Structure 1
Amino acid sequence: MNKDLKTVFIGINGYDYPYVRVRCYNFAKEVKKYGIDSRVLSFRDDFAPNLSGIEMLTLRDRRKLYLNLRALLDILIKKDDLLYIQKVHYHSAAPYFLSRMTGRKFILDYDDWDLDRSPLFNRSFLNKFFFGADGTEAVTGKIARDACACIASSSYLCDFLSQYNKKVFYIPTGVDTEKFKREKDNRSKDRINLIWTGNIWGNVIYDNVMFLLKCFSKINPSGKRVSLTIVASGDYYEKVKNDSAYLDYPGEVNFLNWVSPDEMNKILEGTDIGLLPLVTDEENKTWMMSKSPTKLFEYMAMEIPSVATRFGEAPKIVKEGVTGFLAENEEEFVEKLNLLISDDNLREKAGINARRDAEDNYSLNVLGKRLAQILKEILK
């Protein structure tokens, strides 16, 4: 491999969004350890830092064209050889068009089910000009088919991309186990702390947070003090706060505003049990099936056993009774919570096992090495 060959990781959003932070910034940093010259091109961080993450997804075509023109010039000036396109949104227009015109190789990284919500150009002729197709499914299929390889974050997405491309590799979102590790044990000696973190952006996430609040209201803490902390942001966060006030709880419920991703490990240092409800509806079923559970990996790295819904990627990651527990419904969710709350030894042992599993299978060190091997094969 020629060490002068350059790889650029191209994301639509900023560092504060997991799919860009992990799959662009962190992956780029990790592959450098193996001699790959890499950098990140973030449409938001580099070209539109004044816009929010949501605004980046709802721009008018004129602004989308402007951002793509800047990206096109940036790639040409910096002479990147391999283009790592994270997601099929309008930001993929510049690198894909450049690949078609110059023969540059590119990889498609797919971490979410976006076929029903991918923001391409609003005007059909622009999609046809840049992508040679119109419509999210047609554009996604064309880009996946033309990629020299596809990287998928979940088993479901691997199967989906395999219909277009023979070279599909599974690399979950994973976790930085150097940053997410329990350096201080800030867990309370006389209270069991539960946590959920995330962006409550719509009805489906609202329903999930209300589900876990209802579960918390029904637990039997067996004489122990318990608390639940929600660390969140999003348009539906205030609605959760208001609607949750009508429930009776066996312990404190604390609502914290979202913190920087680089500060989340400090919040988790005081946590005993992590929560990952995945209660879906028909509209979002495939999307939730496709997700790589970032928060679950963070729990594991911090020695926090979890209770997760038996759905999507969670059953492939959580080892029942070893690193955490899985639940089918509200009754079973409450049952598994009661089990972890009541048994201190089980909770501690499961947390240690979860940390070991994160280090062995889901750490950026492991995933970065795997990705570097793939890139080296392509860059030959």
Structure 2
Amino acid sequence: MVDTQHYTVRPARQSATRPVVGWIGTASTFRRYLLPVLPGLVRVCQAAGAEFRVIASPDVREQTVAAGAVFVPWSLATELQELQTFDIGVMPLSDDEFVRGKCAFKLIEYGAIGIPSVGSDIGANGDVIRHGVTGYLAADEQSFEQYLAELLNQSDLGRSMGAAARQVVDERFSLHSQVGRLAQVLHEAAGK
């Protein structure tokens, strides 16, 4: 869940600025899920005149830069500001036991700031992304790159998908959307 009063929709990109595709996460998820596909995603970005940014801990800086991406150190104080530089968010995964129980929090964050996402069609990603409406669910690395290129080739970088993603987050994954559900659970637990 996110506080959608804190996660505000990012301002429209200035036409003179270079599009930004981004990923945020831990060093372990970087190495396990992003790094294997990062060179291909960077190539797609470069072909479209975009840059790929990684927000993570400093221990992945060298691998990020070696793959041709821009490294941004994660900080709680700057996390939202850095997320709002993204035009498109990504969440690649591989199918394993951990992923099948993993939350799609990156996708929720991306949707909360009003940007479309491309995520692997695994686990909870399908609960957050509505394929073709809020972003794309990719079955493999090739389709992941294809969907990313498709978004980058749209003149508005999928801004309408981002607006739809924000609506999904507001309705299903925001703190305020859960108040009624929490009250009901508490009343039931209290026997009322």
Give TM-score scaled by structure 2 length. Answer: 0.88
Partners of 2:85 and 2:66 lie apart in 1 by 27
User: In structure 1, what is the equivalent of residue 7 of structure 2?
Assistant: 180
Tell me if the contact between 2:45 and 2:52 (Cα under 8 Å) persists in the aligned partners. no
CA shift in 2, pair 1:349/1:317, >3 Å: same
Q: Which residue of 2 aligns with 1:354?
A: 165
Determine what percentage of the aligned residue pairs are the same residue: 27
Contact 1:193 1:226 in 2 (8 A): yes
Question: Structure 1 residues 245 and 185, CA, compared in 2 at 3 Å: closer, same or farther?
Answer: closer
Which structure has the bigger radius of gyration? 1
Higher RCO, Cα 8 Å, sep 6+: 2
Contact 2:108 2:169 in 1 (8 A): yes
Shift of 1:244: 4.4
User: Quick check: 1:301–1:354 contact (8 Å CA) kept in 2?
Assistant: yes
In structure 2, which of residues 65, 73, 92 is the aligned counterpart of residue 277 of structure 1? Answer: 92
Q: Residue 335 of structure 1: which of 146, 157, 160 is its match?
A: 146
Q: What is the rounded CA distance, in whole Å, between the counterparts of 2:171 and 2:8 in structure 1?
A: 14
- Deviations along 1:227-278, one digit per CA (max 9) or x if unpaired, are 1111112xxx53x43344544x4xxx22111111x64222222210001111
| 1:127-166 correspondence runs (5 A) | none
CA contact (8 A) 1:221 1:338 kept: no
Aligned length: 190
Output the CA distance in 2 between the equivalents of 1:270 and 1:374: 38
Displacement of 1:287: 1.6
Distance in 2 (CA, whole Å) between partners of 1:220 and 1:178 is: 31
CA shift in 2, pair 1:358/1:181, >3 Å: same
What is the alpha-carbon distance in structure 2 between the residues aligned to residue 275 and residue 374 of structure 1? 34
Q: Distance in 2 between matches of 1:328 and 1:316?
A: 15
8 Å contact kept, 2:89–2:117:
yes
| Cα distance in structure 1, aligned partners of 2:45 and 2:21 | 14
Counterpart in the other structure of 2:74: 258
Query: Structure 2, unaligned stretches of length 5 or more?
Result: none
Pairs within 5 Å for 1:180-219: 180-182=7-9, 185=11, 187-189=13-15, 190-201=17-28, 205-219=30-44
Q: Deviations over 1:126-155 (max 9, x none)?
A: xxxxxxxxxxxxxxxxxxxxxxxxxxxxxx
The answer on 1:241 being equivalent to 2:61 is yes
Residue type at the aligned position of 1:196: W
Deviation at 1:205, TM superposition (A): 4.0
Deviations 1:312-364 (A, max 9, x none): 01122211110000111111111001000001346011011111111111111
Letter in 1 for 2:50: V
Q: Structure 2 vs 1, CA of residues 220 and 273 (structure 1 numbering), >3 Å: closer, same or farther?
A: closer
Matching residue's letter, 1:178: Q
Determine which of 83, 88, 104 is the counterpart of 1:268: 83
Which secondary structure state, in structure 1, belongs to the residue aligned with residue 35 of structure 2?
A: helix
**Separation in structure 1 between the aligned mates of residue 117 and residue 140 of structure 2, nearest angstrom:** 15
- Structure 2: distance between partners of 1:246 and 1:268: 22
* Equivalent AA in structure 2 for residue 180 of structure 1: Y
Q: How does 1:20-31 map to 2 (within 5 A)?
A: none
Task: Give the CA deviation at 1:225.
Answer: 2.5
Deviates more, 1:295-304 or 1:210-219: 210-219
User: Is 1:324 paired with 2:135?
Assistant: yes
Q: Which amino acid aligns with 2:49?
A: R
Aligned-residue Cα RMSD (Å) equals: 2.1
Q: Cα–Cα, structure 1 residues 217 and 308, in superposed 2: closer, same or farther, change >3 Å?
A: same
For the structure 1 residues 256 and 352, does the alpha-carbon distance in structure 2 shift closer, same or farther, using more than 3 Å as the test?
same
Q: Are the equivalent residues in 2 in contact too, given 1:192–1:272 (CA < 8 A)?
A: yes
Structure 1 runs not aligned, ≥5 long: 1-173
Other structure's SS at 2:82 match = helix
Distance 1:188-1:225 versus aligned 2 partners, 3 A rule: farther
- Distance in structure 2 (CA, Å) of the matches to 1:192 and 1:245: 18
- SS of residue in 2 equivalent to 1:333: helix
- 1:194-243 per-residue CA deviation (whole Å, 9 max, x = no partner) reads 11111113xx6403121342222331656x4211111112xxx53x4334
